[in-house]
Amino acid sequence: MPFLLLAIGLGTGLLPASGTAGALLGIPVALALPWLGLSSAWSQAAACLALALLAVPLCGMAERHYGRKDDGRIVADEYLTFPIAMLGLPHAPVVFAVAFLTSRLFDIVKPPPARQLQALRGGLGIVADDVAACLFSLLTNHAIFYFMGPFFRQQGWLP
């Protein structure tokens, strides 16, 4: 079942701290967008929307397969929504690290409306809270790099 392999993040969903392990796959997904020729913010935003929409049925099928709501082995929602947290930001290691940490923080804490979105049924509920968490992460990341950008550039961590 190829959908299951994608839903469990090529096996990362079987590891301890599966959400964090699965979310790490989001880094190469985000890196792939410009490599695929998606260099503008609009094209990357469209790709993020497409990835999130792809995650909904994928996670829904996996949930039905496992017979358990938002089974911890399902991590496609983590890695297919992570690129949202990187929209409009430079692809530098420090940015990926901050985006990863903030997206995990917001996914774990689930500020409103993320927690309420998780209550939606099926794949939509699995993915919607991660989209919300990554949107919170995106706003936080832009604020961090707006205010701390000069420091990061001075350190040579940003172009």
Residue 52 lies in a domain: yes
pLDDT of residue 91: 94
Mean pLDDT on 143-147 = 97
Question: What residue spans of 1-158 are helical by DSSP H?
Answer: 2-7, 18-24, 26-35, 41-66, 76-81, 93-109, 114-118, 122-154
- Express each pLDDT in 43-80 by its tens digit: 999 999 999 999 999 999 999 999 999 999 999 999 99
- 89 residue type, one letter: L
- Domain presence at residue 17: yes
User: In which domain, by residue range, is 9 found?
Assistant: 2-154
Q: How many CB atoms lie within 10 A of CB 27?
A: 19
Question: Per the structure, how many domains does the chain have?
Answer: 1
User: Among residues 158, 141, 140, which one has the least CA distance to residue 149?
Assistant: 158
Confidence of residue 148 (pLDDT cuts 50, 70, 90): very high
Q: What is the arithmetic mean of pLDDT over 121-125?
A: 96
Give yes or no for a contact between 135 and 47, defined as CB atoms under 8 angstroms apart: no
Percent of residues, the chain, with pLDDT higher than 90: 96
The mean of the pLDDT values for the chain is: 96
Distances from the Cα of 56 to the Cαs of 63, 74, 142, 143, in angstroms? 10, 11, 27, 29
Does residue 159 lie within any of the structural domains? Answer: no
Report yes or no on 25 lying in a domain: yes
Query: Region 77-96: what's the mean pLDDT?
Result: 97
Residues 6+ apart with CB under 8 A from 42: none
> How many alpha carbons fall within 13 Å on the CB side of residue 65?
17
Say what the pTM is.
0.94
**Residue in 153, 52, 136 with CA at minimum distance from that of residue 101:** 136
Q: Are 15 and 83 in contact (CB under 8 A)?
A: no
Instruction: Say if 41 falls within a structural domain.
Output: yes
> Above 90 in pLDDT, residue 117?
yes
Residue 13 in any domain: the answer is yes
Predicted pLDDT of residue 87: 97
- Give the whole-number percent of the chain exceeding pLDDT 70: 100
Q: Would the pLDDT of 2 be above 90?
A: no
Q: Report whether pLDDT(1) > 90.
A: no
Are 3 and 73 in contact, with CB atoms under 8 Å apart?
Answer: no
